[in-house]
Amino acid sequence: MTGTRVDILKRCIDWARSDFKSILWLAGMAGTGKTSIAVTLCRMLQEQPDVILAGSFFCSRTSNDEARADVRRILPTLATSLANQSSRFAAKLADELMASIGVAAHRPVSGQIRPLLQHPLAALSSETCSIVFVIDGLDECSNDREVNELLGEISAFTCSARFKFFITSRPETQIRGSPISDRVKNEVLQLHALDADNVTEDIRTYIDHMFTRNPLGTSEPWYSGTDVQTLANLANGLFVFASTAIGYILDTWAAEDRMARLRTTLSIANSSKVATGPLDEMYEFVITRATSTSKVEPQELARTQLVLACILTSRMPISLTTLAELLGKKVDILRASLQRLRAVIHVPEEPDQPGLQALHASFRDYLLQRASAGVRIDRSLGDDALALGCLKMMEKRLHFNISQSRSSYEANPLVKPNFIALSLEYACLHWIYHISDVSRSSLFDKSIDVVFRPRILFWLEVMSVLGQVPRAAAMLVFAAVTVCFTALLDDAC
């Protein structure tokens, strides 16, 4: 397939405005820029007078947000988005929800599509605009069986309205073998099949644009056209390589430092033949530079590795403040540990703002699986630290009547009260899952007995306030099976 990303976007827009093929599947290998195309397409669709961007869902397994990896959240999110735009759809959706009480994100996918989309969309049968739903990164979802179920439901979906689904994913076997890969019924575009020269030209344009919009305010240029082309060639078709390199190079305002970073980046040898080779070399370069023993003290290196391990194994969106409280560290210390890793780790500007995460799923995979022995991180390092941090947090903050309720007969507030800090919320929601993955679970047996057992009712109160009572029950069962403290359940009864 020839063409550039501009051509791909034009084809997507033409597809959205047409009366043919209700599904467009954009397939591409990791790092080829699928999400950037989905984001750009959403923005372009909003500018089309004959298209309604009904809703979008960007799946992710590295956002530290479990909901974004949950297939069962996709259709409810899309339905809610369209209901916020169309009163007719919202009214019909409300009727369907009343008629089928209990339709929610935790229900099977097969039980969602009729009441959430098919029947409510009938209210828009007279709409002449195309109604487009965008689902990005479907392969990022955690349950392959439910992904297949969703694809089957979408492929068989019919209604009187002009609906369309734009879906992106890697060409994983289970997705490639699903009905959406049927080129007769659906539009299928493959990013990894684009002409290599055109992809390199796209990346060159992107790099040049990023360098141009980040001037140093000096009269002398700090890069040349040859530098841009060489960096584009090094990317070897991976946009994520280019964005990682750019993030590293531009993360300084000193002209000499920026030029030195550019020179060093351009010196990376592109000798690997495997698909992840160039990207892995870029990651190893950034990590090695950030943890160089000539520039970082041993205790700083150990702390940086610990912080990285915790970020990669955390199970919901966390902030610097939350991580600092769980680890018993100061926020400034953690921020300093990540200062040289901003090319690969997103660090929110505000310490209380959730969103501390790897910029791309490939970095997590690289650091936990593919990195060399001196760079690779054992995920149990993060689970050990977070398991201990969760237990200490509950020991410190769980207490009687934490919800400040005047009566046990009063209903819990609809909004999470601000007296439950995010660090305590994280501890209560995820402690057992970290303990199940620690290096030696026996080390935590005594802590569980001393810390958790006397506070189990206080923990249940927090889970109730958070609206997580069903999850609390599941966690106790999981705990009994995983760490074998059945006596804990006996006490709870």
CA distances from 353 to 290, 356, 357 (A): 24, 8, 12
Q: Are the CB atoms for 68 and 275 separated by under 8 Å?
A: no
For residue 122, the model assigns a pLDDT of: 93
314: nearest Cα among 364, 375, 366: 364
For residue 146, the model assigns a pLDDT of: 92
413: DSSP letter: P
Neighbouring C-beta atoms of residue 189, cutoff 10 Å: 20
More confident residue, 39 or 296: 39
pLDDT in tens, 142-178: 888 899 999 999 999 999 999 999 999 987 767 888 8
Alpha-carbon gap, residue 199 to 323, rounded angstroms:
39
347: nearest Cα among 381, 387, 304: 304
For residue 386, the model assigns a pLDDT of: 96
Residue 405 has pLDDT above 70, yes or no: yes
Alpha helices in 213-276 (DSSP H): 225-235, 239-249, 255-266
Q: What string of DSSP letters covers 90-145?
A: HHHHHHHHHHTTT-STTS-GGGTHIIIIIHHHGGGTT--SEEEEEEE-GGGSS-HH
More confident residue, 28 or 86: 86
Rg, C-alpha atoms of the chain: 25
**What mean pLDDT is reported for the chain?**
85
Residue 489 has pLDDT above 80, yes or no: no
pLDDT in tens, 335-391: 988 887 877 888 888 999 988 988 777 788 888 888 888 788 998 999 999 999 999
Least confident of 56-60, 75-79, 287-291, 459-463: 287-291
For residue 105, the model assigns a pLDDT of: 47
Number of H helices, E strands in the chain: 23, 7
149: nearest Cα among 170, 176, 114, 175: 175
- Which of the residue ranges 7-21, 236-250, 466-480 has the most confident prediction, judged by mean pLDDT? 7-21
CA distances from 402 to 90, 405, 474, 481 (A): 37, 8, 22, 28
For residue 295, the model assigns a pLDDT of: 63
Q: Which residue has the tokens 């802590």?
A: 447
More confident residue, 218 or 464: 464
298-377 in CATH: which number? 1.10.10
Which residues touch 480 (CB under 8 Å, ≥6 apart)? 486, 488, 489
**In the chain, pLDDT over 90 holds for what percent of residues?**
42
Q: Is 330 exposed, middle or buried (0-12, 13-18, 19+ CB in 10 A)?
A: exposed
Residue 485 has pLDDT above 60, yes or no: no
Mean pLDDT along residues 319-332: 95
The continuous run of DSSP H or E covering 430 comes out as helix 422-435
Give the pairing type, strands 23-27 and 163-169: parallel
Q: Are the CB atoms for 203 and 239 separated by under 8 Å?
A: yes
Least confident of 257-271, 332-346, 437-451: 257-271
Contacts 24+ apart (CB under 8 A), 441-445: 441/482, 441/483, 444/387, 444/388, 444/391, 444/483, 445/483, 445/485
CATH 3.30.1490.190 fits 5-193, yes or no: no
pLDDT in tens, 15-28: 999 998 999 999 88
Mean pLDDT along residues 322-330: 95
Q: Is 305 helix (H, G, I), strand (E, B) or coil?
A: helix
Take residue 465 and report the two structure tokens written for it. Answer: 């306030």
Give the pairing type, strands 357-358 and 345-346: antiparallel
